[in-house]
Amino acid sequence: MNKKDIIYTIIALIACSGFLFVDFGKSREPVELYRVYLKGETLGYIDDKQELEDYINEKQYELKEKYKIDKVYLPNDLDIVKEVTYNEKVSTAKEIYEEIKDLAPFTINGYIVTIKGFEDDSDETEGPITIPDKVINVIDKDVFTESLKDTISVFISEENYSNFLNDTQKEIKDVGTLIEDVYVKNTITIKEGKISTEEPIFTDVEELNKYMLFGTTEEQKTYTVKAGDSISDISFKNKLSVEEFLIANPEFTSENNLLYEGQVVNLGLINPAFKLVEEDHVVEYETDKFDTKIEYDSNILVGYESVKQQGQNGTLKLTKKVQKVNGEIESAVITNTEVIKAAVPKIIVKGSKVIPNVGNVGVWAWPAAKPYCITSSFGWRWGKLHDAVDISCSGCGSPLYAANNGTVEAATYVWPNGNYVVINHNNGYYSIYAHMATISVKKGQVVQMGQKIGTMGATGHATGCHVHFGISRGYPYRGNYEFYNPMSFYK
């Protein structure tokens, strides 16, 4: 072959090669695939989205058995996007599944219940707090609705609630209670959606009941009753109010119920998932305890005394508007008072040539006008000691009195007590009067038992018009001090 033939042969081969190359490029076509993302990162491509969904559902038989469901879905963080691409590598459903099964939880169909929170100002000691939203996941929304009914029945008896709903409450002929309104203060929404199996999901009403009442599904603290125990004693020793004890142990209806040795009671601190408001019209008889009045005779020496008149309790018929929140009274207002039997005061004559500034340990004057209500007793509630009694119902502007002789140690405004007075009775005891509307005494002033020191109000952090009345040994909230139940001084 001569040189010319060789050159022609090379040119022909190059031309042929070029033709083949161009022909191959023209035959490569784009394809329609699905790109799989997990938390924004690409895992690969698949050609059938449904195949992956079916494969996941097939493999997750344990989840289907656990929740008694027919279908398991993709993780919430997994996205599958259709694309037109030249990519030739296509993963199988099994390969993608193996990549994601340990990286992201799968989802199931259910209902997401949101109980909206709000700003709550019912805690007088800490001030307003924001209650956060609570999110509850259930397989069946009937599980939540049944649990809501069960929890409501803890605070309101099923019979009373049913009579209210059906408008079949009995008319009050003499005394009794009518429920005027019942409502959940929170806004509750229920929506269907995909729930991550990593989150708590309730399938059982009883389990959800525990969470709705105590705020947790953990086992609650219990106590085994001993000889001599009473409900009030057990409650106080375990930082519970009697109301909280009765709510946590619905088999009891009153603090006067009898206990038996060896009985196991629940001491769980309730933390309900919602706030149930009950508004009642109440008519009841109440004992009007007699006042003790002191008459001073300047002809008799200090330290001598005699009973001029024995006291007798009276009887009042009171009509009230009462608001309860989760079974506990939050406010009460007397709308009508009928005196059935007038109280007769006890009159003690004491010798006095000067006004003593030392209080009498055995005799104390009631600090508020009558009639009155005790809206919050001394004792534990919501895990905190309420170190006084809240006296209400006589209304804003009604007079407040010194509980005993003494010297005014404080008469000022401070948060959260508002306008308040502290009296040193010079016998080891101090009394405190908080949330007053007005103060009519000054620091250093000597006051006499029963003397007006101001008026009832709602200053500072107060949920309604009342006086927060406490008695301590030692100056309250300074150094060594201890609060006592004020009611123990009125016997």
Which residues face 483 on adjacent strands?
A: 472
The phi and psi torsions of 55 (rounded to 5 degrees) equal -65, -45
In angstroms, what CA-CA distances link 44 with 41, 104, 289, 307, 456? 9, 16, 83, 98, 74
The amino acid occupying position 471 is I
Instruction: Kindly calculate the radius of gyration of the chain based on its CA atoms and give it in whole angstroms.
Output: 37
Which residues face 32 on adjacent strands?
A: 84
Instruction: Report the distance separating Cα 95 and Cα 114, nearest Å.
Output: 37
Q: Is the pLDDT of residue 7 over 80?
A: no
Domain with CATH 2.70.70.10 in the chain: 361-491
Domain with CATH 2.20.230.10 in the chain: 278-354
Angle value at C-alpha 366, between 365 and 369, nearest 5 degrees: 130
Name the percent of the chain in helix, strand, coil, to the closest 5: 20, 40, 40
326 contact partners, CB below 8 Å, separation of at least 6 = 155, 247, 270, 272, 275, 276
Q: CATH code for 361-491?
A: 2.70.70.10
The pLDDT tens digits of the residues spanning 87-143 come to: 778 999 999 999 999 899 999 999 999 999 887 766 555 667 788 899 999 999 999
- State how beta strands 78-85 and 134-138 pair: unpaired
The phi and psi torsions of 105 (rounded to 5 degrees) equal -75, 145
pLDDT tier, 24 (very low <50, low <70, confident <90, very high otherwise): very low
The pLDDT tens digits of the residues spanning 361-419 come to: 889 999 999 999 999 999 998 889 999 999 999 999 999 999 999 999 999 999 999 99
Only one residue has tokens 């029945």, namely 153
State what percent of residues in the chain have pLDDT above 90. 75
Q: Where are the alpha helices (DSSP H) in 156-288?
A: 158-165, 205-214, 231-237, 242-248
Give the pLDDT confidence score for residue 123 in this predicted structure. 58
The fold of the 278-354 domain, in CATH, is Resuscitation-promoting factor rpfb fold (2.20.230)
Give the pLDDT confidence score for residue 203 in this predicted structure. 94
Q: Is 150 helix (H, G, I), strand (E, B) or coil?
A: helix
Give the pLDDT confidence score for residue 45 in this predicted structure. 93
Distance of CA 13 to the CA centre of its chain: 89
pLDDT tier, 30 (very low <50, low <70, confident <90, very high otherwise): confident
Instruction: Report the distance separating Cα 431 and Cα 399, nearest Å.
Output: 16
DSSP letter assigned to residue 343 = -
